[in-house]
Amino acid sequence: MTRPDPSPTTVFAPWDDPDEPPLIRFDNVTKRFGDFTAISGLTLDIYAREFFALLGPSGCGKTTLMRMLAGFETPSEGVISLGGQDIGPVPPNKRPVNMMFQSYALFPHLSVADNIAFGLKRSGNMTRQQISARVDEMLELVQLGKFGKRKPHQISGGQRQRVALARALAKAPKLLLLDEPLAALDKKLRAETQFELMDIQEKLGTTFVIVTHDQEEAMTVASRVAVMDHGRLVQVATPERIYEFPNSRYVADFIGEVNLLDGAVLRKTKAGLTISWAEGQPPIAAQGPEDLQKGANCTFAIRPEKITISSDKPEGCANALSGRVLDIGYLGNISTYHVELANGQVIKAQMANNRRLSRRAFSWDDEVWLSFTDSAGVVLTA
């Protein structure tokens, strides 16, 4: 934990450094409940000072993963180590790991200050003064200085959530686990709290592992994101890479909106691939993996905002498709256009609304052209 601050010029990317020891290592971990496998053969490294997000659909095993880290579940197979040591035999109350519960789990019979002091009193090596000083410090950190004497039911939902955070942070754990910490908050408060969390994480340098359902949240706060499915990791990468270069249909579809076009490699040249994908539609020119053979099945994935809409056929663009506007979804700052091609395929394209609505360029049933460059999308084989 005594790693020097990364200087602002070097990017924080310990996962690219082969000499960097991970803080947490999951080594081929499997967890079964009876004959149901919640986590299967999972291997993962998480580094100190990371803000690591677990993302995945309900029931994919995110909470189970966290509970194994906190010590409430033991792996059926495999080893979890923290700072190089197997933590399997360590009970939850002896782990340098604290968890912020999804339900907050604030003790209703204790005041806010006593809730925060709860863990400190257990450690047994702090004097009363030290404890109360630490409690005050934590209350300041989460901006609840005046609320120490209140009981949990006398404060608001957002404040409760911050108490839970302060309580989990008070013992300065090596690792803080946050299980859907913001699920109960409204959108605005959630956004504020996300930035607050990042702020606190930066200030304290604690490693955070956060579970969330909300992909936007994961993209905002995380240094890396792990996308899970049915107890397996599908992709672990930085938010940008997950968004721009998903490694599978599953990830592309799970994170953000995407158009998925199934096809096969028609030609392969130095400059890239050509994919034939539908009868009567021009093949798509794209950049793709080297190892893809001619004739192989693949999927072309492209985000709606990477597609430009125009009324005339654009010149010199790698790909251009023509279609008819089926539907327009107005989202305030942007609009999503659903464009139906001649073969019936519907493609989503997004455009910023930098003009007033009444002066919008396209309307329902307009014939339009969709265009995108050959590097706008990715070619997926899984």
Partner 1 sequence: MNLRRLALIAVPYGWLLLLFLVPFGIVLKISLSDQALAIPPYTPTFDLAGGWAGIKSFFTGLDLENFTYLTTDNLYWKAYLSSVWIATLSTLLTLLAGYPIAYAMARARPEWRPTLMMLVILPFWTSFLIRIYAWIGILGQTGYLNQLLLWSGLISKPLVILNTPVAVYIGIIYAYLPFMVLPIYATLEKLDSDLLEAAEDLGCSRFSAFWLVTFPLSRPGVIAGCFLVFIPVVGEFVIPSLLGGSRTLMIGKVLWDEFFSNRDWPTASAVAVVLLLILIVPIILFQRHQQRQQELDA
**How far apart are alpha carbons 263 and 8 in whole angstroms?**
44
A 10 A CB-CB count for 29 gives: 21
- Using the rule CB under 5 A, which residue among 25, 48, 52, 63 binds Mg ion? 63
Identify which of residues 124 and 295 has a Cβ nearer to partner 1 in the complex: 124
Q: Which of residues 177-196 bind ligand ATP (CB under 6 A)?
A: none
Could you identify the residue written with the tokens 């089926």?
326
User: Which residues lie near partner 1 (CB under 8 A)?
Assistant: 70-72, 91-94, 97-99, 101-103, 105, 107-109, 118-119, 122-123, 167-168, 171
Q: Which of Mg ion, partner 1, ligand ATP, none does 135 bind, CB closer than 5 to 8 A by kind?
A: none
**What is the chain's length?**
382
User: Cβ contacts of residue 356 below 8 Å, gap of 6+?
Assistant: none
For residue 40, the minimal CB distance to ligand ATP (Å) is: 11
A 10 A CB-CB count for 200 gives: 18
**Considering the rule CB under 6 A, would residue 36 count as an interface residue with ligand ATP?**
yes
Cβ atoms 65, 59 nearer than 8 A: no
**Considering the rule CB under 6 A, would residue 61 count as an interface residue with ligand ATP?**
yes
For residue 282, the minimal CB distance to ligand ATP (Å) is: 42
**Considering the rule CB under 6 A, would residue 63 count as an interface residue with ligand ATP?**
yes
For residue 70, the minimal CB distance to partner 1 (Å) is: 6
- Using the rule CB under 6 A, which residue among 12, 33, 195, 364 binds ligand ATP? 33
**How far apart are alpha carbons 167 and 161 in whole angstroms?**
10
Amino acid present at 221 = V
Which span (33-41, 124-132, 219-227, 358-366) binds ligand ATP, by CB under 6 A?
33-41
Q: Which of ligand ATP, partner 1, Mg ion, none does 122 bind, CB closer than 5 to 8 A by kind?
A: partner 1
Q: If DSSP codes are grouped into helix, strand and coil, which group holds residue 273?
A: strand
User: Cβ contacts of residue 34 below 8 Å, gap of 6+?
Assistant: none
User: Cβ contacts of residue 232 below 8 Å, gap of 6+?
Assistant: 40, 41, 42
Residues in contact with ligand ATP, counted by CB under 6 A, come to a total of 12
Strands 24-33 and 273-276: what pairing?
A: unpaired
Nearest to 369 by CA among 336, 347, 344, 352: 347
Identify which of residues 124 and 344 has a Cβ nearer to partner 1 in the complex: 124
For residue 47, the minimal CB distance to ligand ATP (Å) is: 23
Identify which of residues 61 and 75 has a Cβ nearer to ligand ATP in the complex: 61
Q: What's the angle, vertex CA 77, arms to CA 251 and CA 23, rounded to 5?
A: 65
**Considering the rule CB under 6 A, would residue 371 count as an interface residue with ligand ATP?**
no
Q: Which residues bind Mg ion (CB under 5 A)?
A: 63
Q: Which residues bind ligand ATP (CB under 6 A)?
A: 33, 36, 38, 56, 58-64, 213
